Amino acid sequence: METNEKEIMATTSDFLPLLGTDYIELWVGNAKQAAHYYKTAFGFQSLAYAGPETGVKDRTSYVLVQNKMKLVLTSPLHSTSEIAEHHKKHGDGVKVLALWVDDAYDAFEQTTKRGAKAYLEPRTLTDEQGEVRMSGIHTYGEVVHLFIERKNYNGAFMPGFKKWESTYNPSPVGLLYVDHCVGNVGWNQMNPWVKFYEEVMGFKNILSFDDNDISTEYSALMSKVMSNGNGYVKFPINEPAEGKRKSQVEEYLEFYEGEGTQHVAIATNDIVATVKELMARGVEFLKVPNTYYDDLLDRVGPIEEDLGPLSELGILVDRDDEGYLLQLFTKPVEDRPTMFYEIIQRKGAKSFGKGNFKALFEAIEREQELRGNL
Ligand code: FE2
| Structural domains in the chain, sorted by start | 13-163 (3.10.180.10), 175-371 (3.10.180.10)
Instruction: Say how far apart CA 151 and CA 349 lie, in whole Å.
Output: 32
CA–centroid distance, residue 82 to ligand 1 (Å): 29
CA–centroid distance, residue 181 to ligand 1 (Å): 7
CB 264 within 8 A of CB 194: no
Q: Give the β-pairing of 260-268 and 340-347.
A: parallel
CB 367 within 8 A of CB 334: no
- pLDDT at site 3: 43
Instruction: Say how far apart CA 360 and CA 288 lie, in whole Å.
Output: 6
Instruction: Say how far apart CA 242 and CA 69 lie, in whole Å.
Output: 36
- pLDDT at site 7: 47
CA–centroid distance, residue 317 to ligand 1 (Å): 13
CA–centroid distance, residue 244 to ligand 1 (Å): 24
CA–centroid distance, residue 366 to ligand 1 (Å): 19
Q: What is the pLDDT along the chain (374 residues), one digit of tens a residue?
A: 444 444 445 444 589 999 999 999 999 999 999 999 999 999 999 999 999 999 999 999 999 999 999 999 999 999 999 999 999 999 999 999 999 999 999 999 999 999 999 999 999 999 999 999 999 999 999 999 999 999 999 999 999 999 999 999 999 999 999 999 999 999 999 999 999 999 999 999 999 887 676 666 666 889 999 999 999 999 999 999 887 778 889 999 999 999 999 999 999 999 999 999 999 999 999 988 888 998 899 989 999 999 999 999 999 999 999 999 999 999 999 999 999 999 999 999 999 888 888 787 787 888 888 888 87
Q: Read off the DSSP letter of residue 231.
A: S
CA–centroid distance, residue 212 to ligand 1 (Å): 18
Q: Which of 228, 190, 189 is nearest to 107 (CA)?
A: 228
CA–centroid distance, residue 73 to ligand 1 (Å): 22
CB 227 within 8 A of CB 182: no
- pLDDT at site 1: 42
CA–centroid distance, residue 351 to ligand 1 (Å): 9
In Å, how far are 36, 196, 213, 308, 316 from 293, measured between CA atoms? 35, 40, 21, 9, 9
CA–centroid distance, residue 37 to ligand 1 (Å): 22
CA–centroid distance, residue 183 to ligand 1 (Å): 10
- pLDDT at site 26: 98
CA–centroid distance, residue 342 to ligand 1 (Å): 6
- pLDDT at site 334: 96
CA–centroid distance, residue 8 to ligand 1 (Å): 28
What value, to the nearest 5°, has the Cα angle with vertex 81 and ends 79 and 82?
130
> How many angstroms separate the first and last alpha carbons of the chain?
37
- pLDDT at site 214: 63
CA–centroid distance, residue 131 to ligand 1 (Å): 34
Q: At what angle do helices 248-256 and 357-370 cross, to 10 degrees?
A: 50
Instruction: Say how far apart CA 104 and CA 107 lie, in whole Å.
Output: 5
